[in-house]
Chains A and B, each alone.
Chain A
Amino acid sequence: AQSVTQPDIHITVSEGASLELRCNYSYGATPYLFWYVQSPGQGLQLLLKYFSGDTLVQGIKGFEAEFKRSQSSFNLRKPSVHWSDAAEYFCAVGLSGGYQKVTFGIGTKLQVIP
């Protein structure tokens, strides 16, 4: 069964600083990988996705993520964080066949300080 680990429950960064959120997955085949963002009391918004091809994926809001098969990782990065980026971030892995079951990590809560 697939699983996702987000080792950092809570991260605090200063506005303008760079950001990297870690994600490791466990899955026997090539996974579909996603990063979602959730603001308080809101649903999930897709930031970016990886299915195949170029391992560096660009998303919305200036985010990018890199798929590293050898490390089973899909870390999310942003070069300069804005106060509006404060939210909870979820990494997720999907089956590459069959029905669309998506397994989410526990989430990383990002706090941005001025």
Chain B
Amino acid sequence: ETGVTQSPTHLIKTRGQQVTLRCSSQSGHNTVSWYQQALGQGPQFIFQYYREEENGRGNFPPRFSGLQFPNYSSELNVNALELDDSALYLCASSLVGQGHYEQYFGPGTRLTVT
């Protein structure tokens, strides 16, 4: 059983650019959530995808968007990058339908916007 993986590990972008972060869910999981963790803060929920549809969103603007693919891998896209987007981006996969849910986190992608 493979865990949650994310790529790339680190990324440096310039303000105004666009970025795509990738996540591969744990085998058998059908749900992926994305979180933003700014320095010194707890993770903040961005959104969640279930069966390729967004089914929940936190307080993030529309320039944060995502995709989930049939193999349950996913992407987080951020347009028009701002300096405040610099953070650790975490994805977490889980299996909805068991009645209880546990989210398994990847190691994260560290995004720096200059």
The reply to whether B42 and A99 form a contact with Cβ atoms under 8 Å apart is: no
Nearest Cβ on chain B to A29's Cβ, whole angstroms: 15
Task: Contact check, B48 vs A46: say whether CB atoms are below 8 A apart.
Answer: no
Majority secondary structure of chain A interface residues (helix, strand, loop or mixed): strand
The chain A residue sitting closest to B54, CB to CB, is: A99
Most chain A CB neighbours (cut-off 10 Å) among B33, B42, B90 = B42
The contact of A105 among B42, B50, B90, by CB within 8 Å, is: B42
**Interface contact B90-A100, CB-CB below 8 Å:** no
Contacts A49-B102, A107-B42: A100 and B107 contacting too (C-beta < 8 A)?
A: no
User: Across the interface, which residues of B come within 8 angstroms of A90, CB to CB?
Assistant: 42-43
Residue A43 is within 8 A (CB to CB) of chain B in the complex? yes
**Residue A25 at the B interface, CB < 8 A?**
no
Interface residues of A (CB under 8 A from B): 4, 32, 36, 41-46, 49, 51, 90, 92, 94, 98-107
User: How long is the Cα–Cα vector from A98 to B40 in the complex, in angstroms?
Assistant: 29
A105 to B43, CA, bound (A): 8
A101→B45 contact, CB < 8 A: yes
B108 touches A106 (CB 8 A): no
A100's partner among B40, B42, B101, B106 (CB-CB below 8 A) is B101
CB of A109 to closest CB in B, whole Å = 9
Docked pose: A90 CA to B90 CA in angstroms: 14
Within the assembled complex, what's the spacing in Å between the Cα atoms of A107 and B88?
15
Name the one of A42, A46, A106, A107 contacting B107, with C-beta atoms under 8 angstroms. A42
Contacting residues, chain A, for B94 (C-beta < 8 A): 100
Residues from chain A with a CB closer than 8 A to the CB of B44 are 104
